Chain A
């Protein structure tokens, strides 16, 4: 393949790869935060019941 076209494709792949990696990072963080939020909510509820 012509090197010019090959590098154009590398450029496009790099752009979308960065977006995909960020979306994966966002998804993992969202899942972690949701789990943590549930855990802390349960902790607060159990504390209130004890009182």
Chain B
């Protein structure tokens, strides 16, 4: 694999130097994106997002749980990601990989720190709160799984119905309105090779690039960030990428359901 990645890196590097990408996209263009939501009956919310040939499903479930001891009145938010072995020949069965844990945590941080979900409203009674589980199921891997997963998770949250609660228990299949949300979080991920950076790296580009930078944004703020890979980014890179991310975020939000 290493030798193939070296060849990919050289090819990608030569292309980028002439201002081009392998699929002729502009440096700040996403591949085609689709979002569909609300097509499942058993989860409390669900969505599938695709970016290029990457496909991710997100499912939402509520349970009754015990709050964390240091936050006794706050609900629990938990995000997991499964890189399903059917999604890519690169994924294997077995315990969660470093990549899947990073993916889940980056998506989680964007949603958590944006405060779009009011976890205090999940308080039910002494030592009893609602737990909201976001499960990210990667179905097809063609690069930029972070943006695709964040989009699926956000679309799933937007389709989520609040469970009906009686006597401290969830009545399954009955709901009490939509999950209140105070905004839409989206992420924009850039790849960087040498001095050049490009939005929405494909799997081919990921194999050749030095590093990536993900910026999660709300309508007003930057709410999470993650650099991955061995390469470096400069302060100026980060600032420019944030400007581009804020512009692109408008396009991504427009694709999400209301």
Q: Do A and B come from one complex?
A: no
